[in-house]
Protein backbone atom coordinates (compact mmCIF):
# COMPACT_ATOMS: atom_id res chain seq x y z
CA UNK A 1 0.00 0.00 0.00
CA UNK A 2 1.31 3.52 -0.86
CA UNK A 3 2.04 6.14 1.78
CA UNK A 4 -1.02 8.11 0.61
CA UNK A 5 -3.18 5.06 1.18
CA UNK A 6 -1.75 4.67 4.69
CA UNK A 7 -2.63 8.25 5.70
CA UNK A 8 -5.29 8.73 8.33
CA UNK A 9 -8.40 10.78 7.71
CA UNK A 10 -7.00 13.75 9.66
CA UNK A 11 -3.71 13.60 7.76
CA UNK A 12 -5.55 13.57 4.44
CA UNK A 13 -7.60 16.56 5.57
CA UNK A 14 -4.46 18.45 6.59
CA UNK A 15 -2.80 17.64 3.26
CA UNK A 16 -5.87 18.87 1.39
CA UNK A 17 -5.91 22.03 3.48
CA UNK A 18 -2.25 22.65 2.62
CA UNK A 19 -2.94 22.36 -1.10
CA UNK A 20 -5.91 24.72 -0.77
CA UNK A 21 -3.86 27.26 1.23
CA UNK A 22 -1.06 27.17 -1.35
CA UNK A 23 -3.62 27.74 -4.09
CA UNK A 24 -5.12 30.71 -2.27
CA UNK A 25 -1.68 32.27 -1.72
CA UNK A 26 -0.82 31.86 -5.42
CA UNK A 27 -4.17 33.40 -6.38
CA UNK A 28 -3.57 36.40 -4.12
CA UNK A 29 -0.08 36.94 -5.54
CA UNK A 30 -1.48 36.93 -9.07
CA UNK A 31 -4.32 39.26 -8.04
CA UNK A 32 -1.84 41.67 -6.42
CA UNK A 33 0.40 41.82 -9.51
CA UNK A 34 -0.43 45.10 -11.27
CA UNK A 35 -1.80 44.69 -14.75
CA UNK A 36 -0.23 46.93 -17.41
CA UNK A 37 -2.55 49.83 -18.09
CA UNK A 38 -3.23 50.39 -21.78
CA UNK A 39 -1.79 53.55 -23.31
CA UNK A 40 -5.08 55.22 -24.24
CA UNK A 41 -3.50 57.77 -26.60
CA UNK A 42 -1.01 55.45 -28.35
CA UNK A 43 -3.15 54.53 -31.37
CA UNK A 44 -4.14 58.17 -31.97
CA UNK A 45 -0.67 59.71 -31.67
CA UNK A 46 1.29 56.98 -33.51
CA UNK A 47 0.49 58.27 -37.05
CA UNK A 48 1.40 61.81 -35.99
CA UNK A 49 4.70 60.70 -34.47
CA UNK A 50 5.59 58.80 -37.63
CA UNK A 51 4.87 61.86 -39.78
CA UNK A 52 6.96 64.05 -37.44
CA UNK A 53 9.92 61.66 -37.44
CA UNK A 54 10.03 61.67 -41.22
CA UNK A 55 9.56 65.42 -41.55
CA UNK A 56 6.21 65.09 -43.27
CA UNK A 57 4.34 68.42 -43.47
CA UNK A 58 1.11 66.55 -42.73
CA UNK A 59 2.21 66.16 -39.12
CA UNK A 60 0.71 69.50 -38.07
CA UNK A 61 -2.76 68.63 -39.36
CA UNK A 62 -2.51 65.33 -37.51
CA UNK A 63 -1.65 67.03 -34.21
CA UNK A 64 -4.41 69.59 -34.77
CA UNK A 65 -6.94 66.78 -35.11
CA UNK A 66 -5.84 65.34 -31.77
CA UNK A 67 -5.94 68.76 -30.11
CA UNK A 68 -9.70 68.91 -30.73
CA UNK A 69 -10.38 65.59 -28.97
CA UNK A 70 -12.81 65.54 -26.04
CA UNK A 71 -10.48 63.05 -24.30
CA UNK A 72 -8.02 65.19 -22.28
CA UNK A 73 -5.20 62.62 -22.63
CA UNK A 74 -5.48 62.65 -26.43
CA UNK A 75 -6.02 66.44 -26.50
CA UNK A 76 -2.84 66.87 -24.43
CA UNK A 77 -0.86 64.90 -27.01
CA UNK A 78 -2.16 67.06 -29.83
CA UNK A 79 -1.40 70.32 -28.04
CA UNK A 80 2.05 69.03 -27.13
CA UNK A 81 2.68 68.17 -30.78
CA UNK A 82 1.70 71.73 -31.70
CA UNK A 83 4.08 73.03 -28.99
CA UNK A 84 1.19 74.62 -27.09
CA UNK A 85 2.83 73.77 -23.78
CA UNK A 86 0.39 75.70 -21.60
CA UNK A 87 -2.61 74.02 -23.20
CA UNK A 88 -0.94 70.60 -23.04
CA UNK A 89 -0.03 71.12 -19.37
CA UNK A 90 -3.66 71.89 -18.49
CA UNK A 91 -4.94 68.93 -20.52
CA UNK A 92 -2.44 66.51 -18.97
CA UNK A 93 -3.39 67.70 -15.49
CA UNK A 94 -7.08 67.11 -16.25
CA UNK A 95 -6.29 63.65 -17.65
CA UNK A 96 -4.18 62.63 -14.65
CA UNK A 97 -6.81 63.92 -12.21
CA UNK A 98 -9.41 61.76 -13.97
CA UNK A 99 -7.15 58.67 -14.10
CA UNK A 100 -4.76 58.86 -11.09
CA UNK A 101 -3.77 55.18 -11.33
CA UNK A 102 -3.04 55.20 -15.05
CA UNK A 103 0.65 54.26 -15.30
CA UNK A 104 1.00 54.93 -19.03
CA UNK A 105 -0.56 58.37 -18.63
CA UNK A 106 1.93 59.26 -15.89
CA UNK A 107 4.76 58.23 -18.20
CA UNK A 108 3.43 60.40 -21.03
CA UNK A 109 2.98 63.34 -18.65
CA UNK A 110 6.55 62.83 -17.43
CA UNK A 111 7.88 62.87 -21.00
CA UNK A 112 5.93 66.05 -21.68
CA UNK A 113 7.40 67.74 -18.60
CA UNK A 114 10.88 66.65 -19.67
CA UNK A 115 10.31 68.22 -23.09
CA UNK A 116 8.55 71.42 -21.95
CA UNK A 117 10.98 74.37 -22.06
CA UNK A 118 9.99 76.40 -18.99
CA UNK A 119 7.34 77.15 -16.37
CA UNK A 120 6.98 73.50 -15.36
CA UNK A 121 6.73 71.98 -11.87
CA UNK A 122 9.39 69.29 -12.53
CA UNK A 123 11.53 67.67 -15.20
CA UNK A 124 9.21 64.66 -15.19
CA UNK A 125 11.13 62.44 -12.79
CA UNK A 126 8.33 62.62 -10.20
CA UNK A 127 5.85 61.20 -12.73
CA UNK A 128 8.17 58.36 -13.74
CA UNK A 129 8.76 57.47 -10.10
CA UNK A 130 5.02 57.57 -9.40
CA UNK A 131 4.48 55.22 -12.35
CA UNK A 132 7.09 52.81 -10.98
CA UNK A 133 5.39 52.83 -7.59
CA UNK A 134 2.30 51.46 -9.34
CA UNK A 135 4.24 49.13 -11.67
CA UNK A 136 7.88 48.53 -10.75
CA UNK A 137 8.48 46.63 -14.00
CA UNK A 138 7.34 49.42 -16.30
CA UNK A 139 10.06 49.73 -18.94
CA UNK A 140 8.78 53.07 -20.28
CA UNK A 141 9.00 54.66 -16.82
CA UNK A 142 12.57 53.39 -16.42
CA UNK A 143 13.39 54.77 -19.86
CA UNK A 144 11.89 58.10 -18.78
CA UNK A 145 14.21 58.23 -15.76
CA UNK A 146 17.10 57.33 -18.07
CA UNK A 147 16.21 60.32 -20.26
CA UNK A 148 16.10 62.61 -17.22
CA UNK A 149 19.55 61.36 -16.20
CA UNK A 150 20.80 61.90 -19.76
CA UNK A 151 19.57 65.50 -19.74
CA UNK A 152 21.39 66.09 -16.45
CA UNK A 153 24.53 64.27 -17.69
CA UNK A 154 23.98 61.80 -14.86
CA UNK A 155 25.97 58.57 -14.65
CA UNK A 156 22.84 56.41 -14.26
CA UNK A 157 21.33 57.02 -17.71
CA UNK A 158 22.85 53.93 -19.34
CA UNK A 159 22.19 51.74 -16.29
CA UNK A 160 18.51 52.74 -16.29
CA UNK A 161 18.27 52.15 -20.04
CA UNK A 162 19.77 48.68 -19.57
CA UNK A 163 17.21 47.93 -16.84
CA UNK A 164 14.44 48.98 -19.22
CA UNK A 165 15.87 46.65 -21.90
CA UNK A 166 15.93 43.74 -19.46
CA UNK A 167 12.17 44.16 -19.07
CA UNK A 168 11.47 44.90 -22.74
CA UNK A 169 14.29 43.67 -25.03
CA UNK A 170 12.56 45.30 -28.02
CA UNK A 171 12.64 48.80 -26.55
CA UNK A 172 14.69 50.40 -29.30
CA UNK A 173 14.45 53.86 -27.72
CA UNK A 174 16.73 52.59 -24.94
CA UNK A 175 19.34 51.64 -27.54
CA UNK A 176 18.94 55.09 -29.11
CA UNK A 177 19.68 56.67 -25.75
CA UNK A 178 22.74 54.47 -25.22
CA UNK A 179 24.02 55.45 -28.67
CA UNK A 180 23.62 59.16 -27.87
CA UNK A 181 25.38 58.82 -24.51
CA UNK A 182 28.27 56.94 -26.14
CA UNK A 183 28.56 59.69 -28.75
CA UNK A 184 28.56 62.38 -26.05
CA UNK A 185 31.37 60.43 -24.35
CA UNK A 186 33.31 60.46 -27.66
CA UNK A 187 33.01 56.68 -27.89
CA UNK A 188 32.09 56.51 -31.57
CA UNK A 189 32.63 52.76 -31.85
CA UNK A 190 30.09 52.00 -29.11
CA UNK A 191 27.72 54.63 -30.49
CA UNK A 192 27.69 52.88 -33.88
CA UNK A 193 27.13 49.47 -32.27
CA UNK A 194 24.17 50.73 -30.21
CA UNK A 195 22.71 52.67 -33.15
CA UNK A 196 22.86 49.58 -35.34
CA UNK A 197 21.14 47.54 -32.63
CA UNK A 198 18.38 50.16 -32.42
CA UNK A 199 17.82 50.16 -36.18
CA UNK A 200 17.79 46.35 -36.21
CA UNK A 201 14.97 46.47 -33.64
CA UNK A 202 12.87 49.00 -35.55
CA UNK A 203 13.12 50.99 -38.79
CA UNK A 204 11.64 53.89 -36.80
CA UNK A 205 14.87 54.21 -34.80
CA UNK A 206 16.04 57.25 -36.75
CA UNK A 207 16.98 59.08 -33.54
CA UNK A 208 19.81 56.61 -33.06
CA UNK A 209 21.60 58.29 -35.95
CA UNK A 210 20.24 61.82 -35.84
CA UNK A 211 20.43 62.33 -32.03
Q: Quote the pLDDT of residue 203.
A: 80
**Residue pLDDT, tens place only, 60-119:** 999 999 999 999 999 999 999 999 999 999 999 999 999 999 999 999 999 999 999 988
Element (H, E) at 181: helix 172-184
- Asked whether the predicted pLDDT for residue 170 surpasses 80, the reply is yes
Cβ neighbours around 16 below 10 Å, total: 10
Helix, strand or coil, per DSSP, at residue 137: coil
Mind listing the pLDDT tens digit for each residue in 52-62? 988 999 999 99
Residue 25 has pLDDT above 90, yes or no: no
pLDDT at 36 over 80: no
124 pLDDT band, cuts 50/70/90, is: very high
Distance CA 115, CA 61 (A): 21
Amino acid sequence: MSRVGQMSGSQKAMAGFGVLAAGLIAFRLVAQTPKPTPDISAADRAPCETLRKHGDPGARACWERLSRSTNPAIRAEGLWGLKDYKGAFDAFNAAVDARPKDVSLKVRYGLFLLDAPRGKPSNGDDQFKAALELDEKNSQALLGLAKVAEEDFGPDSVKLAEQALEIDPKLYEARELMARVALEDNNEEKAVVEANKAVAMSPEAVDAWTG
